[in-house]
Amino acid sequence: MEILGVDIGGSGIKGAIVDVTTGELKSDRIRIPTPQPATPDAVAQTLKQLVDQIGYKGPIGCGFPARVIKGEVLTAANIDKSWINVKVEKIFSKAVGMDVFVANDADVAGLAELSFGAVKGHKGTVLFLTLGTGIGSALFHNGHMFPNTEFGHLKFKGDSAEKYCADSAREREELKFKEWGERLNKYLEYISFLISPEIIVLGGGVSKKFEKFEEQLKVNVKVVPAKTLNLAGIIGAAMYAKSRLKK
Ligand code: BGC
């Protein structure tokens, strides 16, 4: 079965057709810059442009950088505030004229890692974190997801954890990888104390540079970089749509 997976991010909207049984891409990966301001209507139109460019007809899965419950956006930490309470599935489906299923970006990327990536088939408790502008989280136990966790917003060192150790904090404060890795380690220790994961998978662009901060990660849990890297959002989005189609 092939489904279009789309990853909606702050700077780019990326999509490709995915074979949801193997996790392979079945079309080129298309990227269109996110419109600015990224209002609901503007993003819906860009999604339509992407679907037209790929020439796809069928159900679509989308990862979105916020809490999404029953097709509605509930938070807007790193996206335009006008998204709050928008029925995102409804406006996207209307714009493209096909069914669009939307879930949190980290949840869908975690789904891809658990199906095809670094923790393929892993039982027990797995925590997946994406380190980008914010910190997204996905939590699994015995292969089941506990959706919409927001561990990036745990209060930590006086503010939300993502302000302290997302990749954007490293860039904003011009931290060396060593300093940033130490911060990340403190956060991982705290979160591990709270939920006792057996393995932590780090995703987001910075996970490609894992060897630059690996040494600082002294937390007493196995930590590995994501394998599906920048495709996780696309692959996972398609898989999420498949899971919704079954219902
Ligand atoms: C949002 C999450 C999202 C993460 C990564 C956070 O600021 O609250 O919902 O998963 O950023 O995009």
Taking only the tens place, the pLDDT of each residue in 1-58 is: 999 999 999 889 999 999 999 999 999 999 999 999 999 999 999 999 999 999 999 9
- Percent of the chain exceeding pLDDT 70 equals 100
pLDDT at residue 228, rounded to an integer: 86
Quick check: 123 pLDDT over 90?
no
Residue 147 is assigned to a structural domain of this protein: yes
Residue 130 Cβ < 6 Å to ligand 1: yes
Cis before residue 59, ω within 30 degrees of 0?
no
Residue 165 is assigned to a structural domain of this protein: yes
Cross-strand pairs, 33:
12
Rounded CA-CA distance 235/205 in Å is: 16
Give 48: exposed, middle or buried? Use CB within 10 Å, 0-12, 13-18, 19+: middle
Nearest residue by C-alpha to atom 11 in ligand 1: 134
The answer to whether residues 168 and 142 belong to one domain is yes
The answer to whether residues 140 and 102 belong to one domain is no
The answer to whether residues 126 and 207 belong to one domain is yes
The answer to whether residues 209 and 238 belong to one domain is no
pLDDT at residue 247, rounded to an integer: 65
pLDDT at residue 246, rounded to an integer: 73
Residue 104 Cβ < 6 Å to ligand 1: yes
129 pLDDT band, cuts 50/70/90, is very high
pLDDT at residue 199, rounded to an integer: 97
What DSSP string describes 145-198? EE----GGGSEETTEEHHHHHSHHHHHHTT--HHHHHHHHHHHHHHHHHHH--S
Rounded CA-CA distance 203/229 in Å is: 6
Nearest residue by C-alpha to atom 5 in ligand 1: 136
The answer to whether residues 6 and 102 belong to one domain is yes
pLDDT at residue 154, rounded to an integer: 97
Taking only the tens place, the pLDDT of each residue in 8-21 is: 998 899 999 999 99
Number of folded domains that form the chain: 2
Nearest residue by C-alpha to atom 9 in ligand 1: 66
Residue 19 is assigned to a structural domain of this protein: yes
Angle at 6 between CA 60 and CA 127, to 5 degrees: 110
187 CA to centre of ligand 1 in angstroms: 16
The answer to whether residues 235 and 215 belong to one domain is no
For 163-184, give one letter per residue: b (16+ CB within 10 A) or e. bbbbbbbbeeeeeebeebbbbb
The ligand 1 atom at the shortest distance from the C-alpha of residue 137 is: 10
114 CA to centre of ligand 1 in angstroms: 19
The answer to whether residues 134 and 48 belong to one domain is no
**Cα-Cα-Cα-Cα dihedral sign, residues 77, 211, 147, 240:** positive
The answer to whether residues 89 and 142 belong to one domain is no
The answer to whether residues 92 and 31 belong to one domain is yes
The answer to whether residues 40 and 100 belong to one domain is yes
Residue 116 is assigned to a structural domain of this protein: no
The pTM (predicted TM-score) of the whole model is 0.96
Rounded CA-CA distance 69/213 in Å is: 34
Residue 55 is assigned to a structural domain of this protein: yes
Residue 57 is assigned to a structural domain of this protein: yes
The answer to whether residues 85 and 163 belong to one domain is no
**CATH code where residue 177 lies:** 3.30.420.40
Residue 127 is assigned to a structural domain of this protein: yes
Phi, psi of 76 (to 5 degrees): -150, 65
140 CA to centre of ligand 1 in angstroms: 17
Q: If you average pLDDT over residues 144-166, what whole number do you get?
A: 96
Taking only the tens place, the pLDDT of each residue in 186-238 is: 999 999 999 999 999 999 989 999 999 999 999 999 999 999 878 999 999 99
Report yes or no: 5 and 242 within 8 Å, Cβ to Cβ.
no
Report yes or no: 100 and 89 within 8 Å, Cβ to Cβ.
yes
Residue 65 Cβ < 6 Å to ligand 1: yes
135 CA to centre of ligand 1 in angstroms: 6
Residue 125 is assigned to a structural domain of this protein: yes
The ligand 1 atom at the shortest distance from the C-alpha of residue 105 is: 10
The answer to whether residues 27 and 81 belong to one domain is yes
Residue 75 Cβ < 6 Å to ligand 1: yes
pLDDT at residue 118, rounded to an integer: 87
66 CA to centre of ligand 1 in angstroms: 5
Nearest residue by C-alpha to atom 10 in ligand 1: 136
Q: If you average pLDDT over residues 64-80, what whole number do you get?
A: 95
Domain containing 64 equals 2-107+231-245
Cross-strand pairs, 8:
13
